[in-house]
Amino acid sequence: MPTIIAVSKTFSIDKIQPLISYGHLHYGENKVQEAIEKWSDIKKNSPEIQLHMIGKLQSNKVKFAIKLFDFIHSVDNKKLMKKISDAQKEFNKKIQVFLQVNIGNESQKSGIKEDNIQEFISYSEELNLNLLGLMCIPPADKDPIIFFEKMNTLNKKFGFKELSMGMSSDYLKASENFSTYLRIGSSIFGQRY
């Protein structure tokens, strides 16, 4: 059964509160500053809530992210990995990370190339990072199925159990390809304005 991350970015806490009250535990944000303002108090009072960083994480925001988040889905370069490793030691907190793969080889998208996955896995082991698996955002203008199938194959090849892929528009196809973390926003909270 996949874990559903309710992507709460841009939504105010009063829109999210009914879901928190219902008992949902996993939420996704893509901006560190917004997440700090929204979630700091809630996380203090409800430490069981799991916060997922799903946007691009700038290396100068890593320390803030480590303090607040439990997962980072968008790890895509070695400088960021080293900063995460250092911050974990500083705050004595282990965070769970996914390697973002640029599965569609899109120049405008973040993510590592498929050929570099092993190199990044080795580096994560060197840094003692808790690498859960791979993550992707498939090209918006193509059928995501072929990319999800490819990601599932890669994830298995490298021996990972967790796979982060699938959003409101394609989560059913992602879950058919063994995604274990689905990042769903507008289907839960409605359209963003």
The predicted pLDDT at position 193 comes to 63
Could you give the C-alpha distances from 27 to 38, 70, 188, in angstroms and in order? 11, 10, 11
**Mean pLDDT for the chain?**
96
The predicted pLDDT at position 192 comes to 74
Query: pTM, whole model, 2 decimals?
Result: 0.96
In this predicted structure, the answer to whether residue 64 has a pLDDT above a threshold of 90 is yes
The predicted pLDDT at position 191 comes to 83
141 contact partners, CB below 8 Å, separation of at least 6:
none
For residues 72-93, give the mean pLDDT.
97
* pLDDT tens digits, 118-166: 999 999 999 999 999 999 999 999 999 999 999 999 999 999 999 999 9
- Strands (E) in the chain, as ranges, are 3-7, 26-29, 50-53, 71-75, 96-100, 130-135, 162-164, 181-184
End-to-end CA distance of the chain: 31
* Domain layout of the chain by residue ranges: 3-189
Share of the chain above pLDDT 70, in %: 99
CATH number of 3-189: 3.20.20.10
For residues 76-94, give the mean pLDDT.
97
Residue 130: how many other CB atoms lie within 10 Å = 12
